[in-house]
Amino acid sequence: MTTSLSETIEDKEKELAKYGKRQKDIGVSTASLNRLPVFEATLKPRFGERSFENAYGKVFVVGKLGQDHKNALEAILYKRKVYKSYRDKEGNRCFEVLYDEYEVRKYMSMSKKSAYSKERYEELIRDMKQAYIRIETKELVAEGNLIADETVSKIYSKKTKSNLPGLKEQRIPYVVLKLGSVANRLISEELRFTYDPKPIMLLHSGISQAIVRFIKTQKRHPRAGYHLKELIENIEDDVKGQKWYNIKTHLKKDAERLRENGIIIDFKKERLYVINN
């Protein structure tokens, strides 16, 4: 019988930190999660059924997943304390992640003085639990969800700062996130990527965020730059007419922050250049 992470981690901060440093990195994303539009290139996704195919594979999604959901998942994996890897009854490799929810929401916030909305955060987690995903690549076929469950740790917690009103000397439990079948399979078998998601979160549009994530999976970039429309066709359907105009408008608004992420776009030539990957 598999024991949960919350039952195996001792309630000692120093030992936990030391244990986490010894673990192999599982990254914040995988090839398919960035190269296929598992998460729509928008910050305002709508619930629905969608399918997409590009040179990297096929994806079918029923649910509501956008770049905000991707931000939350990457933030959790980036700020995790430790993770546990184990085999289920069928022999599949599974992962549980222990993390501080408030720390993650603080990290996701656009303000240094406040944390990301707890209600919105819980909505993102719920959407990732409910969405059905099927991914097909040359190497694998994976289906299911991204998150299987989220529970409060029964063992590990943190002490609140004594200067917080009403919370003096209290202990707030950490959260145990059990990844779903799709996330487990991709982390186990695909090329994984580690990067700080914060600069991507600061981009104003979902299309900008999706482009940066796609670019991060490419080892080499054409010296003459990418054809902008051809690049975006890897993550968006029907890139023409008003939709194409809207995409370029969003990218122009993010131009300075895209540069900070190592990307320059020449809108006259409609080419994208990577200056720092």
Q: Say if residue 223 is in the same domain as residue 154.
A: no
| Contact by Cβ (8 Å): 266, 227 | no
| Contact by Cβ (8 Å): 195, 238 | no
Q: Say if residue 87 is in the same domain as residue 171.
A: yes
pLDDT by residue for the chain (277 residues), tens only, comes to: 455 555 554 446 777 777 777 888 999 999 999 999 999 999 999 999 999 999 999 999 999 999 999 999 999 999 999 999 999 998 999 999 999 999 999 999 987 778 899 999 999 999 999 999 999 999 999 999 999 999 988 887 777 765 555 555 677 889 999 999 999 999 999 999 999 999 999 999 999 999 999 999 998 999 999 999 999 999 999 899 999 999 999 999 999 999 999 999 999 999 999 997 5
Q: What is the pLDDT of residues 144-174, one digit of tens each?
A: 999 999 998 888 777 776 555 555 567 788 9
pLDDT of residue 9: 43
Decide which of 164, 199, 234 is a domain's last residue. 199
Nearest residue to 128 via CA among 228, 208, 33, 265: 33
Query: Tokens standing for 102?
Result: 């408030």
Q: Say if residue 185 is in the same domain as residue 153.
A: yes
Q: Are strands 263-266 and 271-274 parallel, antiparallel or unpaired?
A: antiparallel
Decide which of 199, 220, 239 is a domain's last residue. 199
Q: Say if residue 155 is in the same domain as residue 252.
A: no
User: Which residue reads 């917690």 in tokens?
Assistant: 157
Domain count, the chain: 2
Q: Say if residue 185 is in the same domain as residue 215.
A: no
Q: Say if residue 185 is in the same domain as residue 228.
A: no
Q: Say if residue 87 is in the same domain as residue 139.
A: yes
Note down the domain range covering 137: 5-199
Determine the straight-line distance between the first and last CA of the chain, rounded to whole angstroms.
44
Q: What is the pLDDT of residues 195-220, one digit of tens each?
A: 999 999 999 999 999 999 999 999 89
Q: Say if residue 237 is in the same domain as residue 263.
A: yes
Please state, in angstroms and rounded to a whole number, the distance separating the CA atoms of residues 131 and 127.
6
Q: Say if residue 148 is in the same domain as residue 219.
A: no
Q: Which residues of 250-268 are buried (b: 16+ CB within 10 A; e: fewer)?
A: bbeebeebbeebbbebeee
Rounded to 5 degrees, what angle do the CA atoms 5, 8, 10 make?
A: 115
pLDDT of residue 265: 97
Q: Say if residue 129 is in the same domain as residue 261.
A: no
Q: Say if residue 257 is in the same domain as residue 171.
A: no
Q: Give bridge partners of residue 218 from the DSSP assignment.
A: none
Decide which of 199, 219, 236 is a domain's last residue. 199
| Contact by Cβ (8 Å): 259, 202 | no
The SS3 of residue 34 is helix
